[in-house]
Chains A and B, each alone.
Chain A
């Protein structure tokens, strides 16, 4: 298949997958797109939103539309790491000999839904770290690879903080994107009511295999990025660091820690998927701008003043983008340079 053909196939698959999800999920087009972008970029996605907005349903529908194994873990305070990863248990063979055998936990699936991840203790949350970063887990000194593609979709509730354990920065950094699920518009709400309160049954078809997902992940990485686009991504990430010499005043005032290099990787990878999903062979500045908030919002830690002032990280990032764009030489007309 030619490159052009591969790209067309990806576009078709992407749109098909989105269409399947949209059979169940009303609205949230951007959220669905970003979930798919996270999946094809090879990362994990954290969905944040109040209860009842369809986060879990979205992930479940996505898993149903893919020919992939799916497991759901409901995180609770008494959940232990072994409950997720798995453990060695004593089994008896046919000859009545007993030996240890590894019993896989729910993490051993292609798509893992970590529902209400912030309800588990940090110890259990940390059990996900190795799996999310290395796509493998180590139990009893033995490293065991997770199935490919491995994709964690976690949800958390931002308002019900009683009895929760906010994710540490190291854990947050493992998520490629953090998506904020907002309330639907009134038309979408009407559609939700109509769709869920009638006896109509919606059948979701499996439109993509795991192998295709892995192949598309390889294709994604071939998308070229121009130097000035890459510079823009670096500039935005660096501008989130208050210690940077050219950091904007907003960053110096309200930010305690800026985005890590994983943030820049997430930006570029997400932008590549977005470009390819739109049938483009290259990453544009608009791709980057669209991905700045989901890729960096959980990587920018506000300081006390920022928290006290009620600074919205998305707004802050938007202003950082504007500042970086205005300060780059590419923004100026070339003939007056």
Chain B
């Protein structure tokens, strides 16, 4: 073992310097990171009372101490210290090599000379600090939190936001105003204006006068009057009246009995709803497997729907019995029969309604009577299996028949009762000729035709309308839209 006291002393000296620099380094870092919570504590000084500033100072002290402790506890290897000394004193790796080879068993004879040489050089070294100070990056930003902390310490406590919600009621606002008697004149003058601006919008009751040129069919109190008001264009903008008018128009549109029943005819069908559920019976991991529980629920629902005038209760009852007996196939057949009857009944209803206006419902009885005289299938009539209603033709051998053939058979397949008159349609009637001609519309034609057309396009897109019908429907609306 070739050990030398001077080399050991040098290593200890360098290690101590390294430790001291580390303590400085990590203490500064600790001070920076501790200054952040200290600033937070000083911000909350008002809430903490007299403990705010001491707590912040305590956090700073703890941060510095923790950093210093961390730096003091880090180890410095002898090799590191030796290399540091070699570099600092220009010893050309003598100390590091001597320390490393002096402890090795396979050291060469030259190692002893090396250790002696290194020791001699080390003893002649001046005792100076060789480990330079490395300022941590955090030190550049340290003045910021320190200055903030000093400012917050010297400044009065910041007002903290109250946890109570502001009282927005008029009385509460008055009380608050009374409490703020110490406010300046400017504040007192500006407050009423501000409050007036913030007043919630009051809906005005306005008289909607009929526009000049309105037809005689337009009567006072009619909701359709809201569509006739064109005063928005001439008056200055009034948001409240605009809201009210829009609201009333929406209400008007909600009165579905006054509008053609496009949505109910083609989208909200009971049959379709039940049909979808019947399709869902064959879900799951095995598509060919039917859930008896789901089938039972469906049959129960169909039975409930049948109580409102349906003619499929018998089939549903039959299906329930078969299901209780464990005969799923028979239950499915019965359900299918009931479903066919449900569809036939809805087709019958739709053929009598078509795209007629809302008032058709009111005169529906007369229309039905007329169709009934013509020998057509009446509403509520039970169709047998495989039978259906062919619009305008009564019973058919197939449920609906081929669409193209039916179109050729009658132009009124979808219930177009009127024919649009050519020319500009700026009045309030639909300018219909034919059967619908004498019937005066109570709706603003130009106001609702766009909505109807949109409903039509949605229905064509969403529902299973046969392709042969598309052009006919669009032509119909195109004719209505001519100006």
Residues of A within 8 A of B (CB): 2-4, 7, 219, 222-229, 280-286, 330, 333-337
Contacts and interface: CB of A to CB of B under 8 A. Distances in A.
A280 B94 contact: yes
Contact of A224 (B22, B114, B131): B114
B76 to A, nearest CB: 6
A335 B79 CA distance: 12
B130 to A, nearest CB: 11
B271 interface: no
A284 B110 contact: no
B101 A224 contact: yes
Given A229-B93, A335-B131, A4 B113 contact: yes
A224 B101 CA distance: 7
Given A3-B113, A224-B108, A281-B117, 9 more contacts: A3-B109, A219-B110, A281-B113, A282-B92, A282-B93, A282-B98, A282-B101, A333-B132, A335-B18
Given A3-B112, A336-B134, A225 B97 contact: yes
**Which of A4, A285, A333 has its CB near the most chain B CB atoms (within 10 A)?**
A333
B70 to A, nearest CB: 12
B110 A226 contact: no
27 contacts: A3-B109, A3-B110, A4-B113, A7-B110, A219-B110, A222-B110, A224-B97, A224-B100, A224-B107, A226-B96, A227-B100, A280-B94, A280-B117, A281-B110, A281-B111, A282-B94, A282-B98, A284-B92, A284-B93, A284-B94, A285-B93, A333-B84, A334-B80, A335-B22, A335-B25, A335-B74, A335-B134
Contact of B76 (A4, A222, A225, A335): A335
B395 interface: no
B81 interface: yes
A223 B108 CA distance: 7
Given A226-B93, A228-B83, A282 B114 contact: yes
B21 A335 contact: yes
A227 B78 CA distance: 13
**Which of B19, B93, B108, B117 has its CB near the most chain A CB atoms (within 10 A)?**
B93
Nearest to A219: B110
Interface in B262-319: none
Interface residues of B, number: 35
A2 B76 CA distance: 36
A227 B117 CA distance: 19
A334 B110 contact: no
B96 to A, nearest CB: 5
Nearest to A4: B113
Contacts of A336: 22, 25, 134
A157 B173 CA distance: 101
Contacts of A280: 92, 94, 117
B235 to A, nearest CB: 74
Contacts of B71: 335
Interface in B68-88: 71, 74, 76-77, 79-81, 83-84
Contacts of B83: 228, 330, 334
**Which of A225, A228, A229, A337 has its CB near the most chain B CB atoms (within 10 A)?**
A228
Contact of A334 (B76, B94, B117): B76
B49 to A, nearest CB: 41
Given A222-B109, A224-B97, A282-B98, A333 B134 contact: yes
Nearest to B109: A3
A330 B100 CA distance: 15
A285 B84 CA distance: 13
A226 B100 contact: yes
B114 A281 contact: yes
**Which of A226, A285, A333 has its CB near the most chain B CB atoms (within 10 A)?**
A226
Contacts of A3: 109-110, 112-113
A71 to B, nearest CB: 34
B101 A226 contact: yes
A224 B18 contact: no
A222 B112 CA distance: 11
Contacts of B111: 224, 281
A281 B100 CA distance: 13
B92 A7 contact: no
A209 B83 CA distance: 39
A225 B93 CA distance: 9
Contacts of A219: 110
A225 B98 CA distance: 9
Contacts of B98: 282
Nearest to A2: B113
B97 A229 contact: yes
**Which of B25, B113, B132 has its CB near the most chain A CB atoms (within 10 A)?**
B113
